[in-house]
C-alpha cells in the first residue's frame, strides 16, 4: 500500500487545473475513489476540492456521470446546429434587403 493508503493514482491536467484520481484503502479495508481538483489560488498555494466515492457506490456514480456526459454532448451538438442554422439564416437575403415585397392574397369565400 502506498502513502496515505493509496493503491493507485493517476492525474489529468486541464487548462488551469489538475484532477487527481486516487484509489485508496482506509484502515478498515474499505476501498474508495478520491477525485481531487487542484488549481492555483490567487495567493500562494492551491485550492483543492475532493469527492469520495466508496467501492459499493461506484456503479451508480459512474452511471450518473455517464448520463451527465451524454447530456453535455447532446447539448453541445444541439447548440452547434442552432449556431450553424443562425449563421445560414443570416446569409440568406431577406425581403427587406432585396427590396422584394411579399404579397399575401386573400381567398374570397
Render 19-51 in DSSP notation, one character per residue.
Answer: EEEEEEE-TT--EEEEEEEEEE-SSSSEEEEEE
DSSP-derived letter for residue 99 is: T
Please say if the pLDDT value at position 22 is more than 60. yes
The residues spanned by each domain of the chain are 3-89
pLDDT digits (tens, 9 = 90+) for 33-73: 999 999 999 888 999 999 999 999 999 999 999 999 999 99
* pTM for this prediction: 0.67
Q: Which CATH class is domain 3-89?
A: alpha beta
Whether residue 36 contacts residue 24, with contact meaning beta carbons closer than 8 Å, is answered with: no
Among 34, 28, 29, 36, which Cα is nearest to 57's? 34
Classify residue 75 as exposed, middle or buried by CB count within 10 Å of its CB (0-12, 13-18, 19+). exposed
Amino acid at each position: 500500500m502506498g502513502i496515505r493508503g493509496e493503491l493507485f493514482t493517476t492525474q489529468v491536467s486541464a487548462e488551469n487545473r489538475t484532477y487527481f484520481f486516487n484509489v485508496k484503502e482506509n484502515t478498515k479495508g474499505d476501498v474508495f475513489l478520491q477525485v481531487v481538483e487542484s488549481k492555483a489560488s490567487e495567493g500562494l498555494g492551491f485550492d483543492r476540492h475532493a469527492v469520495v466515492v466508496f467501492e459499493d457506490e461506484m456503479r451508480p456514480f459512474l452511471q450518473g456521470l455517464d448520463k451527465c456526459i451524454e447530456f453535455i454532448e447532446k447539448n453541445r451538438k444541439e447548440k452547434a446546429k442552432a449556431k450553424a442554422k443562425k449563421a445560414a439564416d443570416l446569409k440568406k437575403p431577406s425581403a427587406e434587403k432585396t427590396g422584394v415585397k411579399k404579397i399575401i392574397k386573400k381567398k374570397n369565400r
